[in-house]
Structure 1
């Protein structure tokens, strides 16, 4: 059993114990977080859906991300992941939401936002609002795996605080 599978199982137990339903909004991870979550048996009790919004158009159409935010800040920004996570809560039955948008590589980076830059958002119906930007190293697969691990690890920490 992979470490990510073990982590997602722990997160699921905590979500279920606290009567929460999770929803994800993913870009660079391409559904990797949802895949890790649904690897856990019984995840339908605490997981609603995932929005895989790889294109800017999908972010606008599915999550109500503002076109002006995408133009001003770019898809890989704390402003956009905040709108993604809010949209995920709005368009689901979730009580907790997470969002991820980043540059996994091997191309697409810039001096301002190098390859490995990933932005995260966490939100809950109870008022949690948090965003963060992290720079990971490694190839595309490693960046994506680290992003999945990070977003679930922070969610686990937030759930521990909420207990």
Structure 2
């Protein structure tokens, strides 16, 4: 990964934490394909503990069900690489860790397809107060490292865009909220 890419992800992590602190809000992270990279970016920012509650790296499918509360029949029917799974992971980690906001990553970083999904298929999700939820489907190119790093950048950018008053948030209906 190029150093300028690293800086962008680090800057996004710092912006997320500053925005959360300004609102008195907290964040919990559920990760699958990123394997802890989102949490690592967040905790690299000094003072992260004022907004970051913690993370669950649920790499194994059964942990998504048992720890994050993802619906078992959904996992059986669609597998772990699915938009609804990502949404339930974000909501589940938010609930489990008692955070204002939850984010999640799930997908296929490679080198082989998974659950009938090609390498580069990724879903990032955010869940927040008042039922505010959004999932983005991504189709990423590159090798395993590139896909994982871009997934981190994408989930941080998604959260930034969903935080109220952040200038990039859309109305609730567009975001899949109720």
Same structural fold, with TM-score higher than 0.5 when normalized by the shorter chain: yes
Please classify the TM superposition score into its range, dividing by the shorter chain length.
Answer: over 0.9
Structure 2 unaligned residues grouped into runs of 5+:
1-5, 170-178
Q: Which of 85, 107, 119 is the aligned partner of 2:123? A: 119
**21-30 or 2-11, larger mean C-alpha shift:** 2-11
Between the aligned partners of 2:134 and 2:78, the Cα distance in structure 1 is: 17
Deviation for aligned residue 1:114? 1.2
* Counterpart contact for 2:125–2:158, Cα < 8 Å: no
TM-score, with structure 2 as normaliser: 0.86
Cα deviation per residue 1:119-154 (whole Å; 9 max; x = unaligned)? Answer: 111110232111121100000000000000001011
Provide the aligned C-alpha RMSD in A. 1.4
Between the aligned partners of 1:10 and 1:122, the Cα distance in structure 2 is: 16
- 1:59 paired with 2:67, answer no
- 1:6 paired with 2:6, answer no
| Paired position in structure 2 for 1:140 | 144
Matches within 5 A, 1:1-163: 2-109=7-114, 113-159=117-163, 160-161=166-167
Cα deviation per residue 1:4-61 (whole Å; 9 max; x = unaligned)? Answer: 1111001110010011100000000001001000000000000001010000111111
Moved over 2 A (4+): none
Between the aligned partners of 2:11 and 2:133, the Cα distance in structure 1 is: 26
* Counterpart contact for 1:73–1:79, Cα < 8 Å: no
* Counterpart contact for 2:112–2:118, Cα < 8 Å: no
**14-23 or 84-93, larger mean C-alpha shift:** 84-93
Name the SS for the 1:30 alignment partner: coil
Between the aligned partners of 2:27 and 2:7, the Cα distance in structure 1 is: 21
Name the SS for the 1:137 alignment partner: coil
TM-score, with structure 1 as normaliser: 0.93
Deviation for aligned residue 1:109? 4.5
Between the aligned partners of 2:119 and 2:113, the Cα distance in structure 1 is: 7
* Counterpart contact for 1:22–1:47, Cα < 8 Å: yes
* Counterpart contact for 1:28–1:103, Cα < 8 Å: yes
